[in-house]
Amino acid sequence: MAQPSRLGIWHTTTLQSAADHQQSIQTTAVAGQKRSIHESLPHIPKQPRRAEEASNKRPATAHRQGVSFSRELPKLLASTIQHAHGSVSAGEPSEYSQRRAIAATPTSTADPLLSLSHPIYGLPKPLVANFASQGIKTIYPWQKLCLLGPGLLRGEKNLVYSAPTGGGKSLVADVLMLRRVFEDRDAKAVLVLPYVALVQEKVRWLRNIVNSISRAGDLSQTPPEGQKLWAPRADEDTIRVVGFFGGSKVRATWADFDIAVCTIEKANSLINTAIDDCSISKLKAVVLDECHMIDDGFRGYLLELLTTKLLCLGREIQVVAMSATLTNIDLLKRWLQGHSYETHYRPVPIEEHLVYEGNVYPAATTAGLLKTLTHLDARTQATQSSVLPMRTISPSDHKELKDPVTNAVVALANETARAGYGVLVFSSSRAGCESDAVLISRVLPALHDAPTAVQERRLDLLGDLRSLSSGIDPKLEQTIPAGVAFHHAGLTTEERELIAGAYDAGVLKVCVATCSLAAGINLPARRVILHNARMGRELVGPAMLRQMRGRAGRKGKDEVGETYLCCQQDDLEVVVDLINAELPQISSCLISDKRRIQRALLEVIAIRLATGRESLDDYISKTMLAYTADPILIQEHVEESLADLQKMEFITVDAFSNFNATKLGKAIVASSLDPEDGTFVYEELKKALQAFVLDGEMHVLYNFTPIPDTSTVTVNWRVFWNEMQELDESGLRVMTFLGLRPVMINKMLHGGTLKENTPEEREIARRYYRFYLALQLRDLCNEVPIHRVAQKYDMPRGSVQTLAQTCQGFAAGMIKFCECMDWGAMAAALDYFSDRLKAGARSDLLALAKITFVKSRTARIFWDNGFKTVAAVANADPNELLPVLMQAQPNKARLEARDEQKYRDKLFAKARIIAESANRLWQIEMRQDIEEE
């Protein structure tokens, strides 16, 4: 039997843990003088060990980097998995883990066109070499057939294609896009992705692919035989790949990149700017990844807007759209007036299974799975007994594993990890992720049982997580030693990147993620396990299910992929429908909400793409909406929306029936707002102009806070009330100015509700929610660490970080809004606070915060140690900066000598980067001073 859980004894909150280990840091100035590294280390008194710990003998490596085994939960025993021919222990390799012979893909030896170096693709040799260095030496037959479609390599036709996840679909778009960029020195390309994590990952990938390659002459024509294809020119340059997303510190400047990797919103804004300033002529290729999101009314509809604008330009801009979940591909083909291609090829075959009541059933095809489920759902025992499972998972004696679904997830993950393969578990919620990760870690071998090399790398990962400004999540500290971690939006970006990298490198064997991140992460696995088919309380859709199952099988690492859908008894009937459901057909959603068609019309009028009724009708005729809806219905919506835009004073119509955007309309488009949010922002800022509260920071920060969706923001009214009590006179005046009443907050604290039945009530509710988020933003701007803010407001750390990043993008939009409205003073005030927002620090640290790795708390410690200017840091030796960096790290247990040296080496490398960054900034400052003289 399992021992009683001791989580209540061992678990402490981040705040409690920090309080227990809080050390006072001396900040005597050290600028210009050297001191030993050991002097900078805070003394941590040795704690007496409990008797049970003292008796538990472990190798020396078990105590490295502060690993606290006193927090380990009691180990559990995973259930055995029995096969039709007998029982197999959970710790032994099963049949699935044995190498299997599969049909090999034809090689370039058999078909020369499968080599990217073939002249027909027109790629420079250095580029082909870089592809090879990333493991891409040949292409698949389907990729060859797709690339050789009519007019594609010459950029004469658009392309829409569908290929399974893991089938190599991105490479086709990469080849076409890179051809466009390399064949013309002035060419620009835009790659659109739905999630920030995918943007960051793609930027790294493309930078590796174009690394150290210079542009050349025209590649559009295949050279005559004997003539060199790649002929460098004297004015050649390198390819600049830049990422644009909501929280990025890079402003969308058209002249500063060759390939822009953007989120949907940033891409639409970038296209608008390029059309408005007539620089769009340089754009040669636009790639739309995950294009099935075009019917997502929340944000995907912007894909339709930006693509339609490109189609209206009449220029040779090649549009490449791809997805793994397209069904009505012919619609997109007609809309884009291009070529289409569809394949179901996967380089690694997938075996699909259903797990129900501890039984594992094969489901190689949808039909086979439906048949199995139909038999299982039959009411007679005779019918049920006629369907034999291929394997059974024995019930568990542990109370933590009494639920058959949880028990199956843990047993299957345990089997995979012990066989040496990676496993990806999808859970329905963040709490479910963490719970699954903890349970799985309790059945896997402890750290001291792992090979020495694995111990080292996992301990290094723990050290890297501890060195983050937010410290380490207590549950990750429990699970990582066993090779298990979770990955969800509640973690910070830095935590997720470290975990994803460790999993991809094999340091971690099990990663548990939320269903919502299935399309936002690229973590393929030998085995994918779905802990039921729900996301929260709702059943996942067919497209999401395919996304999750498509992560199974890693090319080059696995010979086969596996998926296991663990089904609850109550969900059996709906799972039958889900598995058998066809992928939904995409369609335009521009008229499903009046705000979308309003935004579409306002944007094209504001950027002067449509100025009269004829050009506006031409724009509408080129939308996907024109291919999916009744023309009369479309016309009615257009007329109604134009009237609304005039009523809201966003556009005017002159005597010749020409449309013109007003100053307000242009400001809304420039700041990437939809008309309804634009109206709210305009009214808020207009009132602020009349009485802007400048003797404090709350009013400015309030105007930097994005317009919240009250259905998705959770307010802790107790925290709101407490923070209101602590506000100074300036902050209270801001609340009064906004119409926020303490009596309402008190009412909500005691169970009241905010009415949102009328537009006025919704506007008031927005202000309460927005002010609550602004309080968090205030703390972040005053050097309160993310994990402290998260703890204070009872929010996940990742959500707080996302708020900070989103606010940076929204702040830039507000500055543009004020500039377009000729509110110069307001724009200047907002711009000043924008720098504080990016730095997460007070005004005295803004210069230091521009240095790489020097933000918020680190900048404050540099200041307190005498490094108060960029010049002071630039002129310091890295050895002088090392003690200061040591002070800036989160408190940690003392390390053994060998590991202490490794820790210092990492910090020294960071100190060198800081010194180099400061030196570059100092040189810029000196040049500016000389020019001003």
What is the 3-class SS of 692-740, one letter each residue?
A: CCCCCCHHHHHHHCCCCCCCCCCCCHHHHHHHHHHCCHHHHHHHHHHCC
Q: Which of 510, 508, 524, 522 is nearest to 557 (CA)?
A: 524
Whether 727 has a pLDDT exceeding 90, the answer reads: yes
Whether 55 has a pLDDT exceeding 90, the answer reads: no
Q: Which of 65, 105, 806 is nearest to 489 (CA)?
A: 806
Print burial letters for 520-542: b (CB count within 10 Å at least 16), e (below 16): bbbbbbbbbbbbbbbbeeebbbb
pLDDT in the model for residue 593:
85
Chain center to CA of 854: 23
Residue 553 contacts residue 561 (beta carbons within 8 Å): yes
Percentage, residues of the chain above pLDDT 70? 80
Which residues, listed in sequence order, are joined to residue 530 by a DSSP beta bridge? Answer: 426, 565
Residue 286 contacts residue 320 (beta carbons within 8 Å): yes
Residue 833 gets the label, from left (phi > 0), alpha (psi -120 to 50) or beta, of alpha
pLDDT in the model for residue 288:
96
Which tokens in the block code for residue 874? 């630039």
Whether 339 has a pLDDT exceeding 60, the answer reads: yes
More confident residue, 710 or 265: 265
Q: Region 690-715: what's the mean pLDDT?
A: 86
Does residue 434 sit in helix, strand or coil?
helix
Grade residue 39 by pLDDT with cuts at 50, 70 and 90.
Answer: very low
Grade residue 24 by pLDDT with cuts at 50, 70 and 90.
Answer: very low
User: Residue type for 103, please?
Assistant: A
Whether 237 has a pLDDT exceeding 60, the answer reads: yes
For the sheet with 350-356, list strands across it.
86-88, 81-83, 391-393, 359-362, 350-356, 561-567, 527-531, 423-427, 510-514, 484-487
Whether 378 has a pLDDT exceeding 60, the answer reads: no
Q: Region 875-888: what's the mean pLDDT?
A: 85
Grade residue 49 by pLDDT with cuts at 50, 70 and 90.
Answer: very low
Handedness of CA 708, 710, 716, 718 (dihedral sign): positive
Report the 3 state secondary structure along 824-893: HHHHHHHHHHHHHHHHCCCHHHCCHHHCCCCCHHHHHHHHHCCCCCHHHHHCCCHHHHHHHHHHHCCCCC
Grade residue 483 by pLDDT with cuts at 50, 70 and 90.
Answer: very high
- Domains of the chain in sequence order: 112-342 (3.40.50.300), 350-580 (3.40.50.300), 594-661 (1.10.10.10), 675-840 (1.10.3380.20), 856-932 (no CATH)
Give the burial class of 631: count Cβ atoms within 10 A of its Cβ; 0-12 exposed, 13-18 middle, 19 or more buried: exposed
More confident residue, 690 or 598: 598
pTM attached to this predicted model: 0.80
What's the mean per-residue pLDDT of the chain?
80
d(CA 680, CA 438): 45
Q: Which of 322, 327, 235 is nearest to 285 (CA)?
A: 322
Residue 484 contacts residue 512 (beta carbons within 8 Å): yes
d(CA 190, CA 151): 20
Q: 431-452 pLDDT, tens per residue? A: 999 999 999 999 999 888 888 8
User: Residue type for 34, please?
Assistant: K
Task: Read off φ and ψ for residue 113, nearest 5 degrees.
Answer: -70, -5
For the sheet with 241-244, list strands across it.
241-244, 259-262, 188-192, 283-288, 318-323, 159-162, 339-342
Q: 138-157 pLDDT, tens per residue? A: 999 999 999 999 999 999 99
Does residue 141 sit in helix, strand or coil?
helix
pLDDT in the model for residue 519:
62
Quote the crossing angle between the two packed helices 897-932 and 452-466, to the nearest 10°.
Answer: 40
Grade residue 868 by pLDDT with cuts at 50, 70 and 90.
Answer: confident
Whether 836 has a pLDDT exceeding 80, the answer reads: no
Whether 38 has a pLDDT exceeding 70, the answer reads: no
Q: 381-433 pLDDT, tens per residue? A: 434 445 678 888 999 999 999 999 999 999 999 999 998 889 999 888 889 99
Long-range contacts of 219-226 (CB under 8 A, 24+ apart): 219/122, 219/124, 219/179, 219/182, 219/183, 220/122, 220/154, 220/155, 220/183, 222/119, 222/120, 222/122, 223/119
Which tokens in the block code for residue 530? 């779905």
Lowest pLDDT segment from 212-226, 513-527, 832-846: 212-226
Which tokens in the block code for residue 726? 């602590």
The residue ranges of DSSP E strands in 205-300, in sequence order, are 241-244, 259-262, 283-288
Whether 103 has a pLDDT exceeding 80, the answer reads: no
Residues 6+ apart with CB under 8 A from 800: 776, 780, 786, 789, 790, 793
d(CA 556, CA 566): 27
Q: Region 797-810: what's the mean pLDDT?
A: 85
pLDDT in the model for residue 36:
37
pLDDT in the model for residue 228:
41
